[in-house]
Amino acid sequence: MQVSDYLQYLRTVRRLSEHTIISYGHDLQVFLDFLKERNLSCADVTFPDARRFIASLVYQSKRSTVTINRMLSSLRGFYRYAITHQWCSHNPFSRIETSPRRRRLPEVLSRQEILEILSRPIQTFFDLRDAVMLHLFYSTGCRLAELLQSNVEDIDLGEQRMMVRGKGSRQRFVFINPPTQLLLEQYLAQRQLFVATHQVQHSTDSQALLLGKRGNRLSASTVHSIFERYRLQLGMQKRFTPHMLRHSFATHMLDNNSGIRIVQELLGHASVSTTQIYTHVSAQRLRSVYEQSHPHGRKEHGNTRNDDHSSSER
């Protein structure tokens, strides 16, 4: 009962996304299973018990640092809520520090790869839907969940923009470029015919921007299947995911001298520190260009200097 109350608080007061709430619920269930094995209640847990639980995650379950840090966050939050509601008198996880982790640089597609992805032939309504989806990911930089919950009414073709609902139900506008707008106009016209033909006008998903084959709102699992199919068709050896298009959007914007604050707003990041990881990607790209373009920056610069000396002697 306490856990369900806490999850409802996250949903209605904190207004966290359903995906986050599911993750927190899973974390708390793992903890409750641990307590059940030891005949402990949440109020009985001591600091040594909390340390034993974290140790079990590391050495028995072999969970990653990212997962353990998230579980710590879930449990700290739960106990803060429990103390407020006088279910517990102390937070046994307050003294356990999260493990530092090395932040991986996001994977980014090249502009040529983007061009190939966005140039796939369109023959059917669902080809058109997929093209619209891919163009929107790259032209707006929105998250998968943001695009999937978007409705037709969120599109403003006159202003070439779309309203999306981000984390914490924060709303923002993202912008649609001309090629994407052209595809959207074609798609919306064909979508209207599809809805009428398949009699989904009164469905709860009837206003969804991206529709599945049964007229329902497109699901995340279907999107990942579409991306995998495209990856195989294009012969890509690396992963291909919606978030890679978001990463590519941000990196290419910074490569074209867009300010980091602008990119932060477009991505919907609450803090600019989250956006700064893309500056590292751009810095790597700058170094790559430098090493290939500057005579003394090349890996084989020793040979270049010899050639220069030879030519000067001649």
pLDDT, position 117: 93
Question: In sequence order, which ranges of the chain are alpha helices (DSSP H)?
Answer: 2-12, 18-37, 47-59, 65-84, 111-118, 125-140, 144-148, 178-197, 220-234, 242-255, 260-267, 272-275, 277-293, 301-313
Per-chain mean pLDDT for the chain: 84
Q: By mean pLDDT, which of 92-106, 168-182, 198-212, 290-304 is the weakest?
A: 290-304
- Residue in 70, 129, 135, 143 annotated catalytic: 143
Q: Is 38 among the residues known to form the active site?
A: no
Q: Is 167 among the residues known to form the active site?
A: yes
pLDDT, position 31: 93
Confidence of residue 302 (pLDDT cuts 50, 70, 90): very low
- Residue in 70, 217, 246, 247 annotated catalytic: 246
Instruction: Answer yes or no: is pLDDT of 276 > 80.
Output: no
pLDDT, position 273: 75
What is the reported pTM?
0.63
- Residue in 63, 76, 224, 269 annotated catalytic: 269
Give the percent of the chain with pLDDT over 90: 46
Q: Which domains does the chain have, with CATH numbers?
A: 2-84 (1.10.150.130), 111-240 (1.10.443.10)
Instruction: Answer yes or no: is pLDDT of 231 > 50.
Output: yes
- Residue in 81, 138, 187, 278 annotated catalytic: 278
pLDDT per residue over 53-66, tens digit each?
A: 998 888 877 778 88
pLDDT per residue over 193-221, tens digit each?
A: 888 887 665 566 778 999 998 888 999 99
What is the average per-residue pLDDT within 113-139?
94
Instruction: Answer yes or no: is pLDDT of 272 > 90.
Output: no
Q: Is 269 among the residues known to form the active site?
A: yes
- Residue in 167, 172, 224, 285 annotated catalytic: 167
Q: Which two structure tokens, joined as six digits, stand for 214?
A: 């049964």
The residue among 95, 34, 99 whose CA lies nearest residue 70 is 99
- Residue in 243, 261, 294, 305 annotated catalytic: 243
pLDDT, position 312: 37
Q: Is 143 among the residues known to form the active site?
A: yes
